[in-house]
Amino acid sequence: MTLLAVERIKLFSTRSPWWCAFAALALSTGFTALAAMSTEDGDGGLSLPSATTGLQFALVVVLALAALAITTEYRFGTIRSTFQAVPNRAAVLVAKAVVVGLVALLLGELAAFGSWGVARVLAPGPGLELADAEAWRQLLGAGPFFAFAAVLAVGVGALLRHTAGAVTLLMLWALMAENLVGVIPNIGPDVREWLPFTAGGRVLDPASPGAPLGPWGSLAYFAAVAVLVLAAAAVVVRRRDA
């Protein structure tokens, strides 16, 4: 618990987490507002997937926040003091991932329900009703998806140790790389179904009968990938100099 408290203090002692949190919420609700204002009166309001389109941009900000949580320590050398105080480097990395993951969980839920609330005010319609488990899953799933994405980002940041490299890799992978894999002839679409962000993002979308795993199964698969990346980072961090 002491290590978790230390990581919490370190995370919130800088301005970047606060700015990232503000940007994530502003992007998610802002895109919903734009979508709502572009709907016509006869369109019947926004659907739930349309109302939460901005979550993908909020996710990118959360990835940056998580990567910064570890790479800035390497940049300024504070990670050396941390490892001197706590020789168990894997425990430090896990504690950081837990703290950042919990912050991402909260941001994901706030972004999802905030976007839904904006849509209800600006473009209400039957598509926004939370009438069944699938509708609730599309909102509640944002928090766990963001949390495991943050854990993955901490692992990538620990592996690369450079802010620019880690953030660039995460952004390009989440926004472009998996989509580009999908356009490879013959095998591309099948391979893309098993790529991490494509799989994890199914929890935010309506159920797809053609998906190899269901929404929650896809999220569990994404969580397993995130934990494996963090475990690999823990092994590397223990073996190389800070």
Kindly report, residue by residue over 80-112, the tens digit of the pLDDT. 888 888 888 899 999 999 999 999 999 999 999
Question: How far apart are alpha carbons 95 and 89 in whole angstroms?
Answer: 10
Query: Residues 134-188: pLDDT tens digits?
Result: 889 999 999 999 999 999 999 999 999 999 999 999 999 988 888 888 888 888 8
Number of domains the chain contains? 1
Contact 230, 152 (CB under 8 A): yes
Residue-range definition of the domain harbouring residue 66:
2-239
pTM for the model stands at 0.93
Amino acid at 241: D
Contact 65, 154 (CB under 8 A): no
Contact 36, 118 (CB under 8 A): yes
Look at residue 22 in the predicted model and tell me its pLDDT: 94
Contact 140, 108 (CB under 8 A): no
